Amino acid sequence: MKIFFALLMIAATLFSDHIRWQNDFDAALFKAKAQKKEILLLVLKKECAECKKIFVEVFNDKEVQEEVNRKYIAVVAFFEDKNSYPIELFYTQAFPSLFFVSSKDESYLQKPLRGHFTKDDVLKSL
């Protein structure tokens, strides 16, 4: 898991305009409140081919990156690491899952995107 996350972070830093992913939900929530932004929570599962594909095809898109960084504090968490985010609030069995979360009360801002989703799906939701 740590190797996969490290590879994702390295891949993200190769692009000048990348999403500034956080891996600590509580710290990201504090930051979101301070910056008056919302939380974008991406829940992945180890060994999930669709998770890797979505990360590369959707979140490496410049337009998606700009919108996410402008409106959200982005958090990436692994389902297997149940202490990395409040799993009782954002439980899922479909991977990847993308939650749009209010920084005020941790409620859903809208219905999550689960399983396969496209760049256009994400842009409409942002």
Backbone angles phi, psi at 100, to 5 degrees: -110, 110
Indicate if the pLDDT at residue 82 is higher than 80: no
Closest CA to 99 of 91, 35, 32: 91
Q: What is the pTM of this model?
A: 0.84
CB 85 within 8 A of CB 43: yes
pLDDT at 15: 45
pLDDT at 84: 80
Q: How many Cα atoms occupy the beta-carbon half-sphere of 50 within 13 Å?
A: 14
Reading the block at residue 99, the tokens are: 């939650």
59-75 tens-digit pLDDT:
999 999 999 999 999 99
| Three-state secondary-structure class, residue 41 | strand
Reading the block at residue 49, the tokens are: 């081919």
How far does the chain reach from its first CA to its final CA, in angstroms? 28
Domains plus CATH for the chain? 2-125 (3.40.30.10)
pLDDT band at 56 (very low <50, low <70, confident <90, very high): confident
Q: Residue range 6-24: average pLDDT? A: 67
